Structures are given as C-alpha cells and as structure tokens.
Amino acid sequence: MNPKSLSGAGENVISVNSKLTAVLWQTNGFGGLLVVPTRDTDMEGSIPSKCPPNPKLVEASRGRLISDFSLSRLEEYLMVTASEDSIRTWKFESELWPMNGKGGNVSDFKEELKVEGKRINKIDLHPLLPNLLTASTRDFSIRLFDINKNSEFLKLETDMKDILQSFSWDPLGSTFATSCKDRYLRTWDPRQSKMIASVETHASTKGFQVKWLGDTELLLTSGFTKSGEREISIWDHRDLTRSIGTQKFGTAATPILPLFDEGNNLIFLAGRGDGNIQIYEQISSPPFFVFVNEFKSSTPSSDLCAFPKKMVDTRKWEIIRFAKLSKTTLEHLSFFIPRKGEQFQEDLYPPTFSGETTLSLDEWVAGNNLTPQLMSLRPEGVVSIYETEPEKEEQAAQYRKERQLGVALGTAEPAKSAALPKGSLQDSNNSALAAEDSMESQPVAKPSAPKFSWSSIMMDIQSRVKTEDQLSSTSDSLPLESMVSAPLIESESQKTVETQEEQVEEVEVEEPHQVDVEETSDHSHKIFKGGYQYAGQLKDGKRHGKGKLILPDSNIFTGQWDNDKRKQGSYIFADGSTFEGQWDWGNIENATYTYANLDSYYGQWKNGKRHGKGRFVFATGAKYIGAFVENAREGYGEYYFSDGSVYQGEWKADKMHGPGSYTTKAGTTITGIWENGTKKT
C-alpha cells in the first residue's frame, strides 16, 4: 500500500462509512484516492491483502493536491473532495466500484462547484442532514453549500487569523464548533449567521482538533502545550471562559486523534505516528474524564477512523470498530465487552442514529430543528436482557444517569483476564495517578480484529508502598468463600476508614464572631478562637477565598472557602492520613481519602460516609470498585485480589450477596448465587 503520510492536526487521510473506505493516496501529478469496499465482518482476505501495487484510483484533481475529502454517512455511495478552489461530488454505482472494471483511473465526478479565487482547506458533511456541506477557505470565511443544488447559500465572516482545522456539530446538528490554527476554539450558529463564543486554547501554534462529546454539553480539544507536550482539554460550550479539565501526555511531534463512543461514553485517544490508543471515560463531574486502559501496538498509525455504530456485532459484544491505516496496511480494530448469555445486552447498546432523517435542508435553513432517527441494534429474533431481567432496564437508566465509574472493557472470552497496564497520568489538579503491572495487546499480523483482554479498572490510584499481600499465603485449594471474604473482614484498613471518617465529621468550626482578629501584611487575616486558628481571606467577617485552618487536635485544612463553608481543599490529619475533595455548601462531594496505613478511597460521599460509586484501594494491592451504602459495599461491585483473582457481582451489607462470579488467577471462573459472603451450593 502507498497511502499518503500526514501529521498535522487538521489533516485527513482516511474516511469510512458502512459501504466504502477511502484513503488519500501518494501520487505524482494528481490528487488520488483509493476507494475500496468496507466489509461488514472481519477483514481477512479483503482489500489490504489483495490490493495490487498500482491500484485503480479516483483521480480527484489533475495537477493539484487534495486538500480534504469525506464519505457521506447518509448517502453511502457519495463522496466529496476539495482541492484549491474546487469542490467535487462523486456518486458511485456500488461498493465494488471503482475498484472493479477495466481501464485507468476514475475521473468521472458527478458535480463540480467553484469557489473562485478562494482556496478551500477543510470540508465537512453534516452528520444528520443530507446535502449540507460546510467548508472553510483561505480568506478565513466559513461557507455552507447545498451539494444537491450545487450552490453556496451562506457565508460566515469570521475573526479567524489562520486556517480552520476541524469542525464538530452538536448532537442535534444545529450549531457547530471549530478549531483554528490561531489557537482559538469557536462555536457557531450558522442559521443566525453568528459566532456564539470563542476562547484561546492550547498554547502551541501546531494547531488542535475539537470533538463534541455526544449528547453532552461538553467539547474535547486535543493540541499541544508551548513546550510541545500533547494535551487534551474539556470545555462546557455554555461557558467557554476556561477549560474544566486538562490532561498532558508527554512530548511528541504528532497530534492526538480524539474519537468518541457515544453509546458507552468512551474517549479513544490515538496518536499519529504511534500504535497505542489510550481510553478514557467521559463522566459528568470533575475531573470529567477518567483513565480506563490502553491498547498497545507496535504498528504506528497514520490515521484512525470509527465506523458507524450500526456496524458493530452485538452478538460478540463488540462496542466500537475502527479502521486503522499504517504505511503498509489497512486493518480493523474491534473492542469488546465480555458478557455471558445469548440475550441482547440493551444496557450496553442504546438506540443509535439510523442514518435517516425526516427533515430537508430547506426546512432546516428555515429554522426547523432536526430530530435524529434512531434504530435499535438488537438482532432479529434475539431476546432483550430487559425482557428476561426487567430490573436491569431501571438499573441501566440510573447507571447512565450517574456514570461515575465507567464500563468494563475486555475480551469476548470471560474466563480470561489480564493485569492492569503500566501508565501514569495527571488529573485536572495535576495530582499524580498511576497504574500497576503491564499487559501489551498486539494486533494479529493479518488485518482481522485483534484479540486482547482488559481488566475493568477505572480511576486507579497506585498504592505508595508495596507491602506483602495479606493473601500471599492463600491458595486456590482453600474454600472459595474464605478466599473472597477474608481480606475484606480482617483488613485493619476497614477499621481505619471508620475512625478517620469520624474525624472528618467532627471538623466543624464555630462561627468566627467576636474573636481575636489580626490583619497580616498581605491583607489576609488570622483568627484565634477556642484553640482554632484560621489564616486567610475574609468577606463580611466570614471565611471566603483562600484559607488555612488549624484545629485543636493539630489537624489542618487548606483550601478554598465560600461564605464560611469549605468549597475545595485538603485535610492533613495528625496521624498522617489525608483527605482531598470538594464540598457543596459544607457537604462532601467527590473526594479522595488516603489513610494512615496508605489505603485510599476515591468516590462519592454522603454525611461523611462512603456512599454511591467509589473505589477503595488497599495498600496490599487489592481493590474494590463499585457501589457503597453508608460505608458498606452494597449493590454491584468488583473486588480485585492482588494475586490476580477477581470477584464480580452483587454485594449487601459489606458481603457478597446475590448473583456473582469468581475468576481465579489461573483463569477458572465459578458462577453462582452468594449469600452473606458464602457461595451457595
């Protein structure tokens, strides 16, 4: 194969839909594209292995380079190309054309639209509306075209000072966001002919990309810092004054390609020039994205593109499929979730866009709003899990509403498991997060779906001390209930949790009225009362802004105050334990508690207790991820032993109770019903 190699933030090398795959080709004297059929199943024996050295190409432009191209997701035999001041539309007869047939390259385009004297650098077909093409030109304007009428119907004058690099429409197709090489993120309402908002983003002039995160209010941008580090940021489009979360990924010459799986709220970050794909889950509260895992490959990618969701094989629990282009191959990468049973897992596959719309372009321009037509991914004749287990429908709705922990990714072979991959990251507060152990998943040599296995690990906070695991002497020959229950019941950290939580509840400071107050040289204040010492900012006699509180027992709180209530900050307790989190008018929200014995908990709280979704990591290396009710594990949860064995299932009153499965470190899985921590026979 001889695809063209590109590296810029806004450059496009591959485009796919369910019928066709188009690749920008390295040619001499013309702009060429290789257009091949997309296969619905695996790629074995498909085009990459049969592609001749000099394939038949689509000759998109003579004597000029292709500046951009796109296959339609709505009319799947339609392709649009742009070069210099020309936009061409191509209508193929079938998925086997133009590869089949005699003769030379294909140059019979359907229509050509000239934008006189204005070089086109970026085009974008509307994801929900047929015939609407958006394009940016070198005069820094944005133009909208009706490709069915072959005419321009709207021109947006902009304040851009450099070329536009990417478009991304909102989930209803009404407004769109753009990234520009002048470092500004902008949002637009084209039917009102106006820019909505703008903000300066990543510091580097290398450029960046923008992606609207599904049906949320959030935008993701990927670019570089001034020192050349890769970086992503999350933005709320309703308030673009600042990002709400930022993550750095180390120095690299090529940009990160952001892709999004809307059905499972997963962000896939692929770097051009390397083969790895980092996976994050987008959540609705700070830090707004959490690390899930990393797919590793030694084959560098030139570009990566997601196929339409309707193509996934739900019988194999496939959640997303990519076309990966390298210098020599075009291959499919598929990601799976392990599930048992033959039912359709409706909680994992919500209705998705069908590719059809009931609104015309003229109606949309007149002010009517789109209603995307959705389709079920449920195969004909397959029973839904909601029919056999109706309670799961309510659980899924609640789960998607909260979505604090994420989804478990893995192989379609549930008996196999893998260790947590090595890697480190920083959250939006730059606190170090890291993972243990390692696993590398290599794609197979032929272009078929690679097989790999992942643990269901979400926000992993590495233990700071490696101690001998409490279970090191436990063998698979012991009774199963002993293996699972022993570390949870006997762990000293459980006692520490309760003790330290009482300390958190006790941190209540009396009203600072009629106390000794002195003003410091930096205009902050010190307050002394009843053994309490406060140094920081005041407003109307109340703690407001930055401040430090020292309690009589030597515990210390440092952070932000709002109208005499803690807002965000950290406690350092006299015994060495720490507590860092956020408060909503004095009530703890998400927070991390690191205990004196180096156990740690991250998650939701209520009335000073672990309550809701959370993650408890023991200093021994064991960890629990799941639901809590008033400090106790209750609801669905997963317990990972340090020896590699795993329990996944229901809990009640801190014990395994209900349906569950236990997988030994050797890979043997035992499934059954549990009662008060013991597996029923």
Identify the CATH number of the domain in which residue 491 sits: 2.60.450.20
* Six token digits for residue 18: 């369910």
Lowest mean pLDDT among 280-284, 287-291, 441-445: 441-445
In a domain, 121, yes or no: no
Mean pLDDT across 121-131: 93
Mean predicted lDDT score pLDDT of the chain? 73
pLDDT of residue 471: 24
Report whether 249 contacts 230 (CB < 8 A).
yes
Lowest mean pLDDT, pick from 126-140, 162-176, 481-495: 481-495
Q: Say if 597 falls within a structural domain.
A: yes
| 566 Cβ contact partners less than 8 Å away, ≥ 6 residues apart | 557, 559, 560, 583, 586
Residue 529 pLDDT exceeds 60: no
In sequence order, the 6+-apart residues with CB closer than 8 A to the CB of 571 are 504, 507, 555, 556, 557, 578, 579, 580
The domain in which residue 666 lies consists of 480-679
Q: 261 CB contacts (<8 Å, ≥6 apart)?
A: 267, 268, 306, 309, 319, 320
Task: Output the pLDDT for position 459.
Answer: 22
- Asked if the structure places residue 123 within a domain, the reply is no
pTM of the model: 0.59
Cα distance between residue 559 and residue 536, in whole Å: 10
pLDDT of residue 181: 92
- Both tokens of 407, joined, read 């989804």
Q: Which residue has the higher pLDDT, 276 or 427?
A: 276
Q: Please report which helix (H) or strand (E) contains residue 27, including its range.
A: none
Position 502 in a domain:
yes
Whether 570 and 559 have beta carbons less than 8 Å apart is answered as yes
Q: Are 331 and 376 in contact (CB under 8 A)?
A: no
580-590: average pLDDT: 63
Domain count, the chain: 1
Confidence of residue 198 (pLDDT cuts 50, 70, 90): very high
Comparing 513 with 454, the larger pLDDT belongs to 513
Residue 262: per-residue pLDDT: 85
Q: Span 261-267, mean pLDDT? A: 87
The Cα–Cα gap between 623 and 616 comes to 6
What are the contacts of 532-535 at 24+ separation with CB within 8 A?
534/509
pLDDT of the residue at 634: 92
Mean pLDDT value across residues 58-78 = 88
Whole-number pLDDT of residue 656: 87
Domain assignment of residue 3, yes or no: no
Contact 456, 315 (CB under 8 A): no
The stretch 93-109 carries a mean pLDDT of 64
What's the pLDDT band for 214 if we cut at 50, 70, 90?
A: confident
- Please tell me the number of Cα atoms within 13 Å of 171 on its side-chain side: 16
Q: Which helix (H) or strand (E) covers residue 645, if one does?
A: none
Predicted confidence at residue 457, as pLDDT, reads: 21
Per-residue pLDDT, averaged over 325-354, amounts to: 83
Burial of 38 (0-12, 13-18, 19+ CB in 10 A): buried
Is residue 510 domain-resident?
yes
CB of 412 closer than 8 Å to CB of 319: no
**pLDDT higher for 265 or 460?**
265
β-strands 120-125, 132-137 pairing: antiparallel
Query: What's the alpha-carbon Rg for the chain, to the nearest Å?
Result: 28
pLDDT value at 474 more than 60: no
Strand, helix or coil at 95?
coil
Q: Tokens 């299932």 sit at which residue?
A: 649
Task: Retrieve residue 658's tokens.
Answer: 């209900």
What is the distance between the alpha carbons of residues 653 and 635, in angstroms, rounded to a whole number? 9
Contacts of 425 (CB under 8 A, 6+ apart): 247, 249, 291, 433, 434
Q: What is the pLDDT of residues 89-100, one digit of tens each?
A: 998 876 555 555
Find the angle CA(594)-CA(596)-CA(597) to the nearest 5 degrees.
95
Beta strands in 585-677 (DSSP E): 587-594, 600-606, 609-617, 623-629, 632-640, 646-652, 655-663, 669-675
DSSP letter, residue 145 = E
Residue 544 above 90 pLDDT?
A: no
What's the CA gap between 320 and 177, in Å, rounded? Answer: 24
Share above pLDDT 70 across residues of the chain, in percent, rounded to a whole number: 72
Q: What angle do CA 81, 82, 85 make, to 5 degrees?
A: 150
- Of residues 633, 632, 636, 630, the one with CA closest to residue 650: 636
Contact criterion met (CB below 8 Å) for 57 and 97: no
pLDDT grade for 539, boundaries at 50, 70 and 90 = confident
Q: How far apart are CA 27 and CA 2, in angstroms?
A: 9
The residue-averaged pLDDT of 445-454 equals 25
d(Cα 145, Cα 198) in Å, to the nearest integer? 24
pLDDT higher at 587 or 183? 183
From 68-72, 142-146, 329-333, the region with the lowest mean pLDDT: 329-333
Measured between its terminal Cα atoms, the distance across the chain in Å is 58
Residues 1-44 have pLDDT tens digits of 566 654 445 578 899 999 999 998 887 778 888 888 886 434 33
356 pLDDT above the threshold of 80: yes
Residue 584 has what pLDDT?
Answer: 61
Ramachandran area for residue 311 (φ above 0: left; ψ -120 to 50: alpha; else beta): alpha
User: Is residue 285 scored above 90 in pLDDT?
Assistant: no
Per cent of the chain over pLDDT 90 is 25
For the ranges 41-50, 194-203, 484-493, 669-678, the one whose mean pLDDT is highest: 194-203
Q: Does 421 fall in a domain?
A: no
Q: Which amino acid is at 402?
A: E
Residue 196, amino acid: I
Q: How confident is the model at residue 530 (pLDDT cuts 50, 70, 90)?
A: low
Q: Name 7's Cβ contacts closer than 8 Å, sequence gap at least 6.
A: 253, 254, 255, 272, 273
Q: Answer whether 229's CB lies under 8 Å from 222's CB.
A: no
What is residue 65's predicted lDDT score, i.e. its pLDDT? 84
Does residue 124 surpass a pLDDT of 50? Answer: yes
Confidence of residue 681 (pLDDT cuts 50, 70, 90): low
- 116: burial class by Cβ within 10 Å (0-12, 13-18, 19+)? exposed
Q: How far is CA 389 from CA 8, 41, 649, in A?
A: 49, 30, 15
CA distance 565 to 547: 11
Residue 87's pLDDT is what?
93
Which of 479-488, 536-545, 572-581 tops mean pLDDT? 536-545
- In whole angstroms, what is the distance from residue 354 CA to residue 197 CA? 31
The single-letter code of the amino acid at 97 is W
Task: Please say if the pLDDT value at position 408 is more than 90.
Answer: no
Compute the average pLDDT of residues 66-82.
92
Q: How far is it, in rounded angstroms, from Cα 559 to Cα 33?
A: 57
For the cut 80, the answer to whether the pLDDT of residue 256 exceeds it is yes
The CA-atom distances, in angstroms, between 166 and each of 115, 161, 235, 417, 671 are 20, 15, 16, 39, 48
Q: Is the pLDDT of residue 274 over 80?
A: yes
Q: Quick one: pLDDT at residue 307?
A: 93
Q: Shortest CA distance to 375 belongs to which of 349, 407, 336?
A: 349
User: pLDDT grade, residue 392 (50/70/90)?
Assistant: low
Contacts of 507 (CB under 8 A, 6+ apart): 551, 555, 557, 571
Instruction: Note whether residue 493 is domain-resident.
Output: yes
**What DSSP state is assigned to residue 225?**
-
Q: Tell me what the mean pLDDT of segment 147-168 comes to.
A: 93
How far apart, in whole angstroms, are the C-alpha atoms of residue 386 and residue 384? 5
CA distance 612 to 627: 5
pLDDT, residue 583, reads 67
More confident residue, 52 or 432: 52
Q: Given this model, what pLDDT does residue 527 score?
A: 60
Strands (E), 428-577: 432-435, 516-519, 525-529, 532-539, 542-550, 556-562, 565-572
Positive or negative torsion for Cα 262, 264, 269, 270: negative
Q: How confident is the model at residue 403 (pLDDT cuts 50, 70, 90)?
A: very low
Q: Are 223 and 24 in contact (CB under 8 A)?
A: no
